[in-house]
Amino acid sequence: MDCEYFGTTCSGFAFANKKDLDKTTTPILNDYINWRDQPFAFPKTSTSILYDHEGNVKKWGWSADKHKTSHAGDYYVKNIKLYLDEDLLPTLPNPRTFLPPGKIVVDVIADYLKKLLEVLMDELREKYGNDVSIENVLFCLTVPAMWSDRAKHSMRVAAEKAGMVQSRYSQRLILVLEPEAAAYYIMNYSPRKIGLEPNDRLMVVDAGGGTADLIVHRLKRSGNLEEVCRGSGESCGSTFVDEEMYTWLKNKLGPVWKRMEADNVSLAEYFNEPWQKIKLSFRGDMDDASFDIPAKLSKAYMTNEDRARLNGGDEIIITENDVRNFFHNSVVKIKKLIRDLLDECGGKIEKCILVGGFGSSQYLLNCIKKDFGSCFNQILRTEEPGSAILKGAVLCGLDPFFIQARRCALSYGIEAIAKVSSWKLGIIPGKKKKPGLFIQIAEKGELIEASQYKEKGIFRPAKPNQTILPIKIYSINERKAEFKRVHKDGFSYHGKISVSMPDVGRGIDRPVMVRMYLGQPDIKVVAINVNTGEEYSTTFNPFASLEDMQSSGSSQYNYSKFSHKCYYKLLFI
């Protein structure tokens, strides 16, 4: 059992052996801290990767950071996870400007996961023996709860490309929501017990390098958790605090920065280490500090006028107010997320706990306590910000039903065509020009048990000689969407399942049930031929194109027998 955490700034893994559960009810959780070129002992390495001019991986992790300026023509890539946030994407630089030719974002993530996988397998074989194979490993890949289904699916694609599994739909690959992993670890294994009672509610604020991801759970009498209201989040982690600082620093340096930029010299090369010390120790007040200007930088890029403007060219003064301004936008956004979630959940919540790298910030904790002290009985942070999600994700893999129920993120259903004369509804392929209607199966915000499915109605072939029933699946970010037009009213297409119906002798008396399992991070769709009992099931392929589904080679999507040009209908009774 392995958890792979791919973060914006740092990534890592933890693992446990299921055989240990035969000896004890408490699994032994192992993380890894022996990363190459690490500046300090930490259960994660830098989410950075260095390519040569041909797109081959030269270095990764801390080693990529160390050697990023070693050779002209190399491609140094970091913060690539931000490109999976669809809301943030329009504001980011085009990845073609910094990726090797022919590489796309998912390729970079796959290359990184492949390197992470190599270290993991070496560690497993050293600990458990050389006969350990990759087929023995159940991978729990963490993703932000705030991500779209498309972004989560991209991580499945990357895992397949990295060689973790042969198919992105493999049973050996499960997705774990990062704040849920944190909640599990905090509830059961954290050195600091938070003392929840049955029916108490817990808000987890997972503030990392890229995202702030919030979720609220209620403790059931069974000891399991259920989601109180749908979580929310935004890309406003500590990376954006860094960006504010570097923008300020560029303005301070003025023409010096322009000369450095012309030579493709990074400010982080000179100023990241002293800045991280200031950021990590900032509590809200501080004496004036300074960035020493290295002699190498001064000699290469500063004129006498620059030195006169910058206190003789030896240092740049940074004040308490400067640092507050760097934090300001991210802190304001996180506080808004907390306020909105409190309002949605109906007022006071018993506990709030901060996790993640940015969650360890004393300044962020102080700001939250100041504004929300009366909204929680207790606000605290985990003592293990670096490993809480790593270890919690392993626990989620061992006990996938610890989160007993989740809120539906969207409304899900099936496309239909209205027969106005009889008000019978039919499912058709996408090239039918007549607009389809939405048969809603699950409602946004609905609480769904982890093992529960939702179904609606009986579907039948519209023609007696019909041999294929295509089930087209859509979603919408609205609660009530029954009978809206899927091609006009903001729906997202998720894909199809083609149900084989060869027994044409029964005419249209060949009913099909469609079920959706929506209580897990991965959505599963099952179509059942009621006469034969045959099931057609798949882990959902969210928002993917038809071409992507076909190229995956997955037998779970039987599209090769289905023509776009046929107009088979499926009646909804």
Length of the chain in terms of residues written: 573
What is the C-alpha end-to-end distance of the chain, expressed in Å? Answer: 45
Helix (H) or strand (E) holding 186: helix 178-188
- C-alpha span between 188 and 175 (Å, rounded): 20
Strand-pair partners of 417: 426
Q: Which of 403, 491, 405 is nearest to 448 (CA)?
A: 405
CB contact at 8 A, 12 and 43 = yes
Computed over its alpha carbons, how large is the radius of gyration of the chain?
26
- C-alpha span between 241 and 364 (Å, rounded): 12
Ramachandran region, residue 223 (left: φ > 0; alpha: ψ -120 to 50; beta: rest): left
How many other CB atoms are there within 10 angstroms of residue 3's CB atom?
29
Whole-prediction pTM: 0.84
> Which DSSP string corresponds to 323-351?
HHHHHHHHHHHHHHHHHHHHHHHTS-EEE
CB contact at 8 A, 6 and 207 = no
CB contact at 8 A, 343 and 336 = no
Strand-pair partners of 46: 10
Amino acid code (one letter) for 227: E
Helix (H) or strand (E) holding 396: helix 388-398
pLDDT (0 to 100) of residue 168 = 87
Instruction: For the chain, 573 residues long, give each residue's pLDDT as a single digit of tens.
Output: 666 789 999 999 999 888 776 555 667 888 899 999 988 888 899 999 999 999 999 999 999 998 887 677 899 999 999 999 988 989 999 998 899 999 999 999 999 999 999 999 999 999 988 999 999 899 999 999 888 888 888 999 999 999 999 988 888 999 999 999 999 888 877 656 678 889 999 999 999 999 999 999 999 998 899 999 888 899 999 999 999 999 999 999 989 898 888 887 888 878 888 999 999 999 999 999 988 888 888 888 888 888 888 877 678 999 999 999 999 999 999 999 999 999 998 878 999 999 999 999 999 999 999 999 999 999 998 878 778 899 899 988 888 888 999 999 899 998 865 443 333 444 444 344 345 788 899 999 999 998 889 987 677 777 888 888 888 889 999 999 888 888 877 898 887 888 888 888 888 888 888 889 888 887 888 888 888 888 877 655 444 432 243 233 332 222 222 222 222 334 444
CB contact at 8 A, 460 and 570 = yes
- C-alpha span between 530 and 512 (Å, rounded): 5
Q: Which of 440, 508, 439, 418 is nearest to 426 (CA)?
A: 418
pLDDT (0 to 100) of residue 359 = 92
**Helical packing angle, 238-253 and 268-281, nearest 10°:** 130
Amino acid code (one letter) for 144: P
Record the tokens describing residue 138, joined without a space. 């159940």
pLDDT (0 to 100) of residue 429 = 40
Helix (H) or strand (E) holding 418: strand 411-419
Helix (H) or strand (E) holding 154: helix 149-162
pLDDT (0 to 100) of residue 521 = 81
pLDDT (0 to 100) of residue 558 = 28
Q: What is the dihedral of CA 564, 567, 571, 572, to 10 degrees?
A: 40
Q: Which residues have C-beta within 8 Å of that of residue 296, sequence separation ≥ 6?
A: none
Long-range contacts made by residues 61-70, C-beta under 8 angstroms, separation at least 24?
61/11, 61/35, 61/36, 61/37, 61/115, 62/35, 62/36, 62/37, 62/38, 63/36, 63/37, 65/37, 66/37, 68/266, 68/269, 69/265, 69/266, 69/269
- C-alpha span between 381 and 271 (Å, rounded): 28
Specify the 3-state DSSP secondary structure of 507. Answer: coil
Q: What is the dihedral of CA 507, 509, 513, 514, to 10 degrees?
A: 30
Residue with tokens 């403790």: 219
- C-alpha span between 361 and 242 (Å, rounded): 14
- C-alpha span between 25 and 47 (Å, rounded): 34
Amino acid code (one letter) for 343: D
The dihedrals phi and psi of 467, each to the nearest 5 degrees, come to -115, -10
CB contact at 8 A, 360 and 385 = yes
Q: How far is CA 344 from CA 203, 247, 408, 445, in A?
A: 12, 35, 15, 11
Record the tokens describing residue 125, joined without a space. 């074989």
Q: Which of 242, 248, 399, 246 is nearest to 327 (CA)?
A: 242
Task: Look up residue 485 and give its DSSP letter.
Answer: B
pLDDT (0 to 100) of residue 192 = 60
Record the tokens describing residue 419, joined without a space. 């027969």
Where do the domains of the chain lie, and which CATH numbers do they carry? 2-179 (3.30.420.40), 194-381 (3.30.420.40), 408-572 (2.60.34.10)
CB contact at 8 A, 467 and 510 = no
Q: Which of 413, 412, 439, 435 is nearest to 425 (CA)?
A: 439
